[in-house]
Amino acid sequence: MYEKFARSDWFRHNRFGMFIHWGLYAIPARGEWVRSPERLTVEDYQPYFDSFNPVDYDPAAWARAAKAAGMKYAVMTAKHHDGFCLFDSRLTDYKSTKTPAGRDLVREYLDAFRAEGLKVGLYYSIIDWHHPDYPHYGDAHHPMRDNPAWRDAKHDFANYLDYMHGQVHELCTQYGCLDIMWFDFSYDDMSAEKWEAGRLVRMIREHQPHVLLDNRLEASGGSFGSLIEEEPTYWSGDFASPEQIIPPRGIVNKAGEPIPWEACVTMNQNWGYSSRDRHFKPASVVVRKLVECVSKNGNLLLNVGPDARGRIPDESLAILAGVGRWMERNSASIYGCLGSPLPKPEWGRYTQNGSTLYAHVFEVPIGPLHLPGVDSEDIAALRLLADGSELEINRNWITESYEGETFIALSPVTHDCCLPDEIDTVVEIRLKS
């Protein structure tokens, strides 16, 4: 499977990445969409541009945190919907080099993450609430969508497209090899060739032939576009990007073939920094959701939202560190793994890499652990992945009535009330076939 998606081999192997939402919106600290629901004008938003100076920005520290968490790639917002650029675009003065920061923050990010051996991606919003030629009044999301002062305004959308395509050209030609271009997003009739997507993708492929593209030139975070068709469009992308959801059964196309996908998920309830949002997912949840993604042939792109000073919040760093401790011992059950054809076990999930099956045990079993779909005669070896300790197939009076079913003992005392790892105890099952 996946023959159509050979370009994404590394992506499907690495499975775990960091999303970074950062920009002017870190100052009001009410999320990256703040301009839209609050109907902020360009003038209302200008003070944040005038004062943007992230004195604690240290992308090398961000990269070290990502690597220690077991992440293998990262994607950072080069430009979000507010139109502010974290890179030194020649096409606008609405960029970080014209703020008190005075720096090309994208270049520093790319250099730091590459230095740690991580793959690098850039998020670019094809929406732009700052550009005068992006539709205002009547648009679904623009801050001025219902402001009568813009009712009769004229917009030269072709001029906006030249600007948007020009900025993508800058990113593709002035920042070295990129591994991902992550576009956001299409909606209503603002989709596909409305963006002149064919011309855009041809330009990208000319300069970055191996870069991966998401599917949002023709889709939103809640849809898939033609990527799930048997004959996708040229601009359909290399992977689907479900947002704030893990697909119930993974994602396949209409021929039933699996396609690459990546669930993008926040750590709390906002993408951009929100000072009042303390609803963070614990490391245990993140680990289990990463496992769930892999068990369904998908990736997890986990977001951090640095603050106005350029710091990743302490809560996020603590979560990353917790995930990293688990990954340090158990990453073989993530990297290079796919879902297993075996039935989902009640106690957790399976992932698989060739003839090695990984049982991710989330719940304490009553007695020995049942391995649905596994034939005991096909087991060559049983180990706890975290420390390599041997486990045994359980054959005694408790299990003897369940003919054809396989049970294993997680400890010498089968009625133990705890697991070796309460987050996720991983059993490595080496199969003969």
- 220-263: per-residue pLDDT in tens? 999 999 999 999 999 999 999 999 999 999 999 999 999 999 99
Record: fold of 340-431: Immunoglobulin-like (2.60.40)
Percentage of the chain beyond pLDDT 70 is 98
Record: fold of 3-336: TIM Barrel (3.20.20)
DSSP label of 98: G
Q: Where does the chain hold its CATH 3.20.20.80 domain(s)?
A: 3-336
Residue 49 identity: F
Q: Where does the chain hold its CATH 2.60.40.1180 domain(s)?
A: 340-431
Which pLDDT score, from 0 to 100, does residue 415 have?
52
Confidence band (pLDDT; 50, 70, 90) for 162?
very high
Mean pLDDT of 403-424: 83
**If residue 120 lies in a helix (H) or strand (E), which one and from where to where?**
strand 119-125
Which residue did the predictor score with more confidence, 293 or 410? 293
Dihedral sign (CA 264, 270, 272, 278): negative
Which pLDDT score, from 0 to 100, does residue 433 have?
84
Question: How does pLDDT run across 316-351, given as a tens digit for each residue?
Answer: 999 999 999 999 999 999 999 999 999 999 999 999
Confidence band (pLDDT; 50, 70, 90) for 80?
very high
Output the six-digit token pair for 178.
């990129």
380-389 burial, b if ≥16 CB within 10 A, otherwise e?
A: eebebbbeee
Which pLDDT score, from 0 to 100, does residue 264 have?
98
Which pLDDT score, from 0 to 100, does residue 418 have?
84
Average pLDDT, the chain: 97
Cβ distance 123 to 182 under 8 Å? Answer: yes
Q: Which of 184, 4, 210 is nearest to 120 (CA)?
A: 210
Confidence band (pLDDT; 50, 70, 90) for 267?
very high
Question: How does pLDDT run across 18-42, given as a tens digit for each residue?
Answer: 999 999 999 999 999 999 999 999 9
The residues, any chain, with a CB within 8 Å of residue 143's CB and separated by 6 or more, are 35, 36, 38, 39, 40, 41, 129
Which pLDDT score, from 0 to 100, does residue 2 have?
77
pLDDT of 413 higher than 70: no
Q: Which of 3, 1, 8 is nearest to 237 (CA)?
A: 8
